[in-house]
Structure 1
Amino acid sequence: MTENLFESYALNETIKLNNRILMAPLTRCMADDELVPTPAMAEYYARRADAGLIISEAVIIRPDGQGYPNTPGLFSKAQIAGWQKVTAAVHKNGGKIFAQLWHTGRIAHPYFYAKDDQDAVVLAPSAIRLEGTVARMRDLTYKTPKAVTKEDIASLVLDYAKAAENAMQAGFDGVEIHGANGYLIDQFLHHDSNRRQDEYGGSSENMARFPLAVVDAIIDKIGADRTALRVSPGAYVNMAGDARDKAVFDYLLPELEKRNLAFLHIGIFDDSMEFDYLGGSASSYVRANYNKTLVGVGGYSAETASNAIADSKFDLIAIGRPFIANPDYVSKVKSKEPLVAYTDEMLTSLV
């Protein structure tokens, strides 16, 4: 029984969703060489407009945020114009779409934004290099980042806010700040990647200072009703967990609740994963500490998501790879048609 997935849901007085199924952000690396969305991307998103809300693939806020090839940006006029075609196509088909705003932090690589500059820096909370090679670019190894200065932090806050303004100009219905999955904002929130001893590290309040500054700056530009955030309270990708992380999120979540965001979105690949220091799954921990609209994600089927919503574990469900394989995911679930199984080969084309 999945009927509750097809109920309308009001995020707030501004935005009402046609159903509770969100299309999760899915990095496809299909922008052109200037990081401009292509006509194929407009068609790709438009075909999935039956989702209650589409969250776009992560969109970099400025050049030094890029850590993967051909990921779209939202900092140039051409990129804004490219996204206008995407949002128009989604709206024409009756859908809604948020832009996910992204800076990869220490996951970034100068190959993408300063190929000929041997002195180009990678920015992160602390100068701690991530081991390994760049995804989809196996000949590139990660660099030791520069610990951001206070001036760097102020610039980043301004650029996040500008990207949110650009998203509104591009026709998006709102933005989701990517504060999860081991990228820049998430790097500030975990002790493994944040070893600072100034007002941006050490204590829970200090570690949350930059993420909350970004949230507040974006709210000031576009309103809380159009601002959402994705978080990963359990460190599970590109960083090690630390029992002290729980205190950071114990502080952060009530602060976010005060801000009346459009929604909070869990960032995790598999929500059956449990974290000792959180006392269970990421979503159950957040639900226990955050009482407003929560989006679950991570390996759910329509049936298991419907049950979780019925049990008030979260309010909305974000579906990822099944949406790649099934542009008509919503109608198939509603009519109980079989779904096409996702395969990795599907990542190489937009359909």
Structure 2
Amino acid sequence: MPRPSHLLSPLKLGSITIANRAGMSSMTRDRSSNTVPNDIMREYYLQRARGGAAFIVTEATLISLVGAEWQNAPGIWNQEQIDGWKNIVDAVHGAGSKIYCQLWHGGRVSHPDAPAQIAAGVPVYAPSAIAARGGKFRFLPGEPGYITPTEVPDPKILIAEYKQAAVNAKAAGFDGVEIHGANGYLVHQFLDSSSNQRTDAYGGSPANRTRFALETLSALQEVFGPDVSLKINPNGGYNDVGMPLDETIATYGHLLSTLDALPTPLAYVALMRYMAFIDPEYEPGSGKKRATQFDAFATLKGYLKRTKWFVNAGVQVDEAEELIASGDAAGVFFGIQWLAHPDLVKRIEKGKPFDNQPQWAHFYGSPDVDAAVGYTDYPAASYA
């Protein structure tokens, strides 16, 4: 195909300018050293920055000590973690790229028996005392599923944790932060009526269920100004969330129109489209998927007038060029393609094929396999 000039053009994003619009999506990789970012993570991000990832969003990064399913996911609540991330951020900046930290809290999909949750000394907090179906904590005896969480008495407790995480991200040198508001984690749990049945100001109507996300965004803007963003997944499904279509549109329509009117616009909103492989069938053999399946971007894109859209999940290069050329989106995120091709943008520029096969068995690492396998060992193309 012709050189995708729109995809490869620069973009002003908040207070920064990125050299191209082929963003590297957040992807959990589970390679930290007991939640501390390490040298192999630095190599992973640096490879991709050198390969043309002008704008990188980190893997989901825990804002506090909680019993997450991903035992080796990184955090950003203590100085050792800040120092580890600074080592990575400095390397990415040295390669000429920009990098956001994705802030993450699992909410009800944490476990009280996880060592981290025990050390935290607090319950598994969520919007409401409603358990998610599924789950499999492979690092706990018996591989238990999800439990019924404790309804957080005051959501501002958790908003304060997000704000402190943003302060820490700024200390590490990040260019901005992205709230993980997708995939059935804490922010998504507040948005969804299946997981949020509160009767206070944070539950009930679409306006109330969006309050947590909006107040958290405002708190982060006190730290990062225009360099704050949000990732959403209106289709739902993963981690047992999903609402009827009319309620989904009403909720996300209110969220988007309200944040679009913020005094300082967000840098962008990333919309994760429907992905069948993370949409579970909770009643085996029923053929009934959990997600609310609809064209979320086509339905919701008109709600943003001032705020930039990024589209995520299953985007191909030709589609990315069309989305940007049409003005429907300012940019896109590639995920699996960046995982398997550390030189993705260079391949796009030179017309090279995407011929590395993702090593799915090593996506999240393994205690029995070298951490580099399926992580930093993907070859670049030949440009001789």
Does the TM-score normalized on the shorter chain lie above 0.5?
A: yes
Contact between 1:189 and 1:248, CA under 8 Å: does it hold in 2? Answer: yes
Contact between 2:235 and 2:293, CA under 8 Å: does it hold in 1? Answer: no
CA change 1:147–1:15 in 2 (3 A) is same
Q: Secondary structure of 1:114's match?
A: helix
* 2:266 maps to which of 246, 261, 269: 261
Q: More deviation in 51-60 or 306-315?
A: 306-315
Give the distance between the partners of 1:333 and 1:267, measured in 2 at CA: 22
CA change 1:89–1:116 in 2 (3 A) is closer
CA change 1:22–1:269 in 2 (3 A) is farther
Give the distance between the partners of 1:116 and 1:262, measured in 2 at CA: 35
Q: Which amino acid aligns with 1:252?
A: L
Alignment match, 1:287 = 301
Contact between 2:271 and 2:311, CA under 8 Å: does it hold in 1? Answer: yes
Alignment match, 2:250 = 247
* 1:57 maps to which of 52, 59, 75: 59
Contact between 2:82 and 2:172, CA under 8 Å: does it hold in 1? Answer: yes
Mind listing any 5+ residue stretches in structure 2 that lack a counterpart? Answer: 279-288, 366-372, 377-384
What is the RMSD computed on CA atoms of the aligned residues? 2.4
Alignment match, 2:357 = 341
Alignment match, 1:175 = 177
- Residue 115 of structure 1: how far off its partner (Å): 4.5
CA change 1:112–1:54 in 2 (3 A) is farther
- Residue 135 of structure 1: how far off its partner (Å): 5.9
> What are the superposed Cα offsets for residues 290-334 of structure 1, whole Å, 9 maximum, x if unpaired?
122100011111122112222333110100011111100110111
Alignment match, 1:42 = 42
- Residue 143 of structure 1: how far off its partner (Å): 1.1
- Residue 279 of structure 1: how far off its partner (Å): 9.3
Q: Secondary structure of 1:6's match?
A: coil
Alignment match, 1:195 = 197
Alignment match, 1:98 = 100
Q: Secondary structure of 2:161's match?
A: helix
Q: Secondary structure of 2:57's match?
A: strand
Contact between 2:235 and 2:294, CA under 8 Å: does it hold in 1? Answer: no
CA change 1:39–1:177 in 2 (3 A) is same
Give the distance between the partners of 2:293 and 2:24, measured in 1 at CA: 28
Q: Secondary structure of 2:48's match?
A: coil
Give the distance between the partners of 2:138 and 2:317, measured in 1 at CA: 30
Contact between 1:25 and 1:57, CA under 8 Å: does it hold in 2? Answer: yes
Q: Larger helix proportion, structure 1 or 2?
A: 1
Does residue 1:270 correspond to 2:275, yes or no? yes
Alignment match, 2:285 = none
Percent identity of paired positions between Structure 1 and Structure 2: 33
Mind listing any 5+ residue stretches in structure 1 that lack a counterpart? Answer: none
Does residue 1:69 correspond to 2:71, yes or no? yes
Give the distance between the partners of 1:156 and 1:293, measured in 2 at CA: 27
Contact between 2:65 and 2:119, CA under 8 Å: does it hold in 1? Answer: no
Q: Which amino acid aligns with 2:339?
A: I
Give the distance between the partners of 1:135 and 1:267, measured in 2 at CA: 25
Give the distance between the partners of 1:102 and 1:32, measured in 2 at CA: 18
> What are the superposed Cα offsets for residues 199-237 of structure 1, whole Å, 9 maximum, x if unpaired?
1111111111111110111111221x2111111222222
After superposition, residues 1-351 of structure 1 pair within 5 angstroms as 1=2, 2-12=4-14, 14-33=15-34, 35-49=35-49, 50-64=52-66, 66-110=68-112, 111-115=114-118, 121-134=123-136, 137=139, 139-150=143-154, 153-223=155-225, 225-238=226-239, 239-243=241-245, 244-259=247-262, 260-268=265-273, 270=275, 280-291=294-305, 292-339=307-354, 340-347=356-363, 348=365, 349=373, 350-351=375-376
CA change 1:333–1:345 in 2 (3 A) is farther
Q: More deviation in 252-261 or 305-314?
A: 305-314
CA change 1:94–1:68 in 2 (3 A) is same
CA change 1:55–1:214 in 2 (3 A) is same
Give the distance between the partners of 1:279 and 1:160, measured in 2 at CA: 30
Q: Secondary structure of 2:179's match?
A: strand
Q: More deviation in 339-348 or 291-300?
A: 339-348
- Residue 284 of structure 1: how far off its partner (Å): 1.6
Give the distance between the partners of 2:249 and 2:343, measured in 1 at CA: 38
Alignment match, 2:282 = none
> What are the superposed Cα offsets for residues 18-54 of structure 1, whole Å, 9 maximum, x if unpaired?
0011000000011112x10010001110111121210
Q: Secondary structure of 1:139's match?
A: coil
> What are the superposed Cα offsets for residues 161-213 of structure 1, whole Å, 9 maximum, x if unpaired?
11001001001110001111111001111111111111111111111111111
Q: Which amino acid aligns with 2:143?
A: D
Q: Which amino acid aligns with 1:253?
A: L
Give the distance between the partners of 1:287 and 1:231, measured in 2 at CA: 12
Q: Secondary structure of 2:229's match?
A: strand
Give the distance between the partners of 2:292 and 2:124, measured in 1 at CA: 31
Q: Which amino acid aligns with 2:304?
A: Y
Q: Secondary structure of 1:264's match?
A: strand
Q: Which amino acid aligns with 2:41?
A: M
Contact between 1:67 and 1:112, CA under 8 Å: does it hold in 2? Answer: no
TM-score in terms of structure 2 length: 0.84
Q: Secondary structure of 1:164's match?
A: helix
Contact between 1:181 and 1:268, CA under 8 Å: does it hold in 2? Answer: no
How many residues of Structure 1 are paired with residues of Structure 2 in the alignment? 344
Give the distance between the partners of 1:102 and 1:116, measured in 2 at CA: 18
Contact between 2:92 and 2:99, CA under 8 Å: does it hold in 1? Answer: yes
